[in-house]
Structure 1
Amino acid sequence: MYWPLLIVGAFLTVAYVVIKIRHNQLMTSDAVFWFFFAVVLIVAALFPQLVFSLSDLLGIESPANFVFLCVLVVVVYRLLALSVEMARLRSKVTALAQDVALKDASNTSPSAKN
């Protein structure tokens, strides 16, 4: 049975997130996602009949496959969201670096000394 592994994995995830928050290495908005993810894993482990019903409804042969598929979809979605955020931050850093470079260049120009 993989249900105990889900519970252990969920509690380890929560513990890891709490440690990262305490060391200021994780933002609260990201922590909410991981806490929600852990709660869903715990619910799936405590109520396996829900997972069995959903896997039957979707025509997935094994409830374990259904759980792993759901986890994979969530992780891929999170990776996509983080990639979009990283691209936005990269362009913001580039714009800020260009702005600082232009200000430094205007402060050191010969016309600025006169």
Structure 2
Amino acid sequence: MIIAFKNNTLSKKFIALFITLIIIFLTGCQTIKKKSDEVAEKENEKFGQFVGKEVNEMRLELGSPSEDFVNELGNEMLIYKTKKYGIPCERKFEVNASGVIIGFSSSGCI
């Protein structure tokens, strides 16, 4: 796209406005990334506390999982699915044969 300007002052204003908008856009993206990183960190702190604990302790707090199955290693996988603002959230807990939670991961949780 080519924009022709009648004078140099107008083109300088256009360039300044364009650069300002780019800076605002990039700053906004960084803010969103920072916020999502903070949410992920809180998520890991909150639910990571169950790792190393008995699965019954977690079930008392979170209730029944949306799904459960045995993975290829023979460990039970408990999956809790929720939605917030229409965005799906999935939390997975891996439980060994002794009933101890050995892993946690989440995706899409805000």
Give the structure with the larger strand fraction. 2
Give the structure with the larger helix fraction. 1
TM-score range, shorter chain: 0.3 to 0.5
TM, length-normalised to structure 2: 0.40
TM, length-normalised to structure 1: 0.39
